Structure 1
Amino acid sequence: MLHKTKGIVLSTLKYGETSIITHIYTELFGMQHYLVKGVRKESKRRSAQIQYFQPGAILDLEVYQNSLKELQYIKEYQWHSVYANMYSEVIRHTIATYCAELADKLIKEPEADPDFFEEMESVFLLLDRLPSVEVSNIPVYFTLKILGKIGFSLSGKYDVTNFNVLDFEKGCFSSQVPLHPLYLKGTHAKFVHDILYCEDWTNISFNGDGRTYISRSLQNYLKIHIENFKTLNSLTVLETIFC
């Protein structure tokens, strides 16, 4: 059956000579895998259409959807939102790639979640529109949002006196430093708390080394709770830009 839906591109693989298989998080169907035919083929009349399927692209789609099949088909696609800065600035493009790769690794179910779709869409739009000095917190913010989506939200709140440790094995703020090494404390724990709870999270300042350390710690948190989870390839590039 043919449906119209918005979708956010997460990853793309070459298929055959001119086609691709793309993973797209859709508003109506959740995570979906689509075959797009001829998208890499150029002609005298038009250039290849692969630019539509970059990480974070928000598209209007017309798709053939069959719940009995794992691979679906896209009939038509066009921009829903045209980015002004995302793909022309290295830091924005790198953050978009990180967010898309993280979502692609963690969201598996083909189930609609319009609220989370709206959250993901808003993150990519913010990434494009915010001043460049304000985008650095987006990777941590988006990681925390994904944790909530998949059922591993961090609980509790930071308090400088009583709850100044973030214990990743327990998934909560604690008053004691644990015996294991998987925790954050002090300013690192407070930064995570502020990103979680402050409305003005884009303006929370922190140095590049600190963000890198926190991002690595969140990856380790995922490794504890998700079998066979591996550190994202895009994280290394992200760390190079931040440091």
Structure 2
Amino acid sequence: MDGRSEAEAAPGIELAPLAPPANLTAELVRRLAAEIRAGRLRPGDRLPTEQALMRQAGVSRTVVREAVAALRAEGLVLTRQGVGAFVADPAARGQVRIDPGEMRSLNDVLQVIELRIAIETEAAGLAAERRDMAALERIIQAAAAFDRAVDAGESAVTQDLEFHRAIFAATGNSFFPRFLEFLGPMLIPRQTVRPYLEEPSARTAYLARVREEHARIAAAIQAGQAAAARSAMRRHLTSSRDRYARLAGRLALSQPG
């Protein structure tokens, strides 16, 4: 800190409206991250309020919240309940993570999902074996929040991330949540994939399927059935991998000769 009040918002930050067809969440993350890395938003500065970001960037509250969640996962900001989001001290940021800038293709996304299958399948099994009532309640609440977001027509990225965080926390092994920091915002890749690659109806059907898959995972963990939890998580992530493989194939076909 440099002596300024930590609730003091940095002056002079004014973002131009975002224009479709860009992925609005990913683009807002990119712009805010650029402000932070360029030093125009310094450690301890408060990000503009939700209302200010909505007005400046011309996006919805959901886009703003998902962008802030992605920045938090990347270690660039810290959030304080009822106060706002603040730029994190670089010395406190994780040194090892997957940078969204590294994800240049859907094949990169597929490789990250393969990594997740290996780790999260076991995490689900351990969560079923070790969860206590508080951990189980967090998983159930996260699944319900995802359902509400989908019903509201949202992309539910933040709620999806919290569901997986809750499962990792339920393992009782502190290294599992730290693995999420390694993945950063790439844990939920749909926020970075160009939306025009998929029809809205297909995206809606996919989220409905994710809702069902979350329910099966949560039920197995609640019942303490480790094998079923591992199987349900593997099916969930395999379904996601197959979806992005289809999108990659569609993109390849659309490329000129």
TM-score by length of 2: 0.28
Q: Which has the higher contact order (CA 8 A, sep 6+)?
A: 2
| Greater helix proportion | 2
| Greater strand proportion | 1
